[in-house]
Amino acid sequence: MAEPDTGFQNTAWENSGDSQTALRLIVNEKEVHALVPDRLLLSDFLRDYLGLTALKVSCGEGACGGCTVVVDGEPARSCTLLAVQTDGSRIVTLEGINAPQGLNQVQRLFQQSHALQCGYCTPGLLMTVHCMMERGLEPNSDQVAHYLSGHLCRCTGYRNILTAVRRALAGEILPEKPEENG
């Protein structure tokens, strides 16, 4: 087995007396080994140790959805998980579903529909939408609102988000450049 990665800011924990546990998991298809403090939240592990800063910590208690990632195929809050709990898991973050360049289809629909304003809630939301797409939810089913009820947005009022998500679930494909009007 390879040496565990030391991760960022390991020196920040020096002499803290924190017990640490080895962690081995797959993040965005890459194997990660680390030795981390037991109390390190998964959100901090992903953001600070692995530099995956797309997910946002907003409420810190699992209520708002901003920190949502995919763990073993299901959307989950990274702020209510310890990193050490995810040993052996497969985690996908927004960085893992981004196209190499530009936007994927869901993201293009979000842009076209003006489904984001400040963009802070967007990365977490896109992970839930990713799962909804994988599960083949029907665009007009009440499951759509049910999944999206796990996300709070303070800017958009949700209307354009619902539009974008329904269009994505309906399989709409947009051309490369967004249309100006309509």
Partner 1 sequence: MAEILPPPVRPARSYRYAGKSIRRGEDPDLLRGKGGFLADLPAPDSAELFVVRSTQPHAIVKEIRTGPALRSPGVIACLTASDLGLIDDALPCLDMIPGTLDVRQRVMATDRVRYVGQPIAVVVATNRYLAEDAAELVQIDYETLPAITGHLAATSPGAPLLYPEFGTNIVYQTTQRDGNPDFAPRDGDIVFRRRFEFHRQTAVPMENRGVIAKLIDDGERLHVESTTQIPNTLHSALALAFGMDAQHIKVTAPRLGGGFGCKEMVYPEEIIVPAVVRKLKRPIRWSEDRREYFASAVHGREETVDAEAVLAPDGEFVALRLTGWANIGAAFGLVPNSPITAMGAMVRGPYRIPNLDARMFSVVTNKVPLNVLRGAGAPQAALLMERLLDEAARILKMDRAEIRRRNLIQPDALPLDRGQTDFAGAGRIIYDEADYPRCLDAALKLADYENLEKERALAAHNGKLLGMGVSMYVEITAVGPYENARIRLQPDGTVVLFSSIVPMGQGSETTQRQLVAEELGIPIEQVSVRQGDTDEVPDAIGTFASRGAAVGGAVARLASRELIKEILKQAGAQFGCASDQLSWEDGCLVGPGIIDESIPMSEIPGRLASRRNDSVPQAIEANFRLDVAHPSYAYAAHIAVVEIDPQTGHIEIPRYAVAHDCGKVANPLLVEGQIVGGVVQGIGQILREKLHYDPSGYPQTRAMMDYVLPGCGDLPVDFQITHMETPTRFNPFGMRGAGEGGCTGAHAAIGTAVADALRDYDIAVDGSGPFTPTWIIEALNRPRHT
Partner 2 sequence: MKPAKFKYVRAETADHAVEQLCSADPSAKILAGGQSLIPALSARIITTSLLLDIMRCPGLDAVSQTKDQITIGAACRQSRMEASAIVQESIPLLSEALGWVAMPQVRSRGTVVGCLAQANAGGEVPVVSLALDAQLNLLSRGGVAQRMSAKDVYAAETGARLPPQTLIASASFRKRAANEGWGFSEVQLRRGHVALVCCAATLVLDENGRVGSVTIAIGGLTANPYRADRAEKVLLGGAAGDDQIIGDAAHVASDEHPWPARTDLHATGAFRSKAAVAAVVRALTDARARCSTYQPGNTGATNGRA
Name the site residues for partner 2 (rule: CB under 8 A).
16-19, 21, 38-39, 41, 44, 60-62, 65, 68, 71, 74-77, 79-82, 84-85, 87, 128, 145-147, 149-150
- Structure-derived torsion over alpha carbons of residues 7, 12, 17, 20, reported in degrees to the nearest 10: -10
- Label the pairing between strands 30-37 and 20-27: antiparallel
Strand partners of residue 91 = 27, 71
| 3-class secondary structure per residue, 118-130 | CCCCHHHHHHHHH
By CB under 8 A, tell whether 53 contacts partner 1.
yes
Q: DSSP letters of 22-41?
A: EEEEEETTEEEEEEEETT-B
Window of 8-16, 19-27, 80-88, 130-138 that interacts with partner 1 by CB under 8 A: 8-16
Tell me the per-residue interface mask from 140 to 169 with partner 1, x by CB under 8 A, - otherwise. Answer: -----x--xx-xxxxxxxxxxxx-------
Amino acid at 10: N
154 binds, among partner 1, partner 2, none (CB under 5 to 8 A by kind): partner 1
Footprint of partner 1 on this chain (CB under 8 A)? 9, 11-18, 37, 39-40, 53-61, 63-64, 66, 93-95, 98, 102-103, 107, 110-112, 114, 116-123, 126, 145, 148-149, 151-162, 178-182
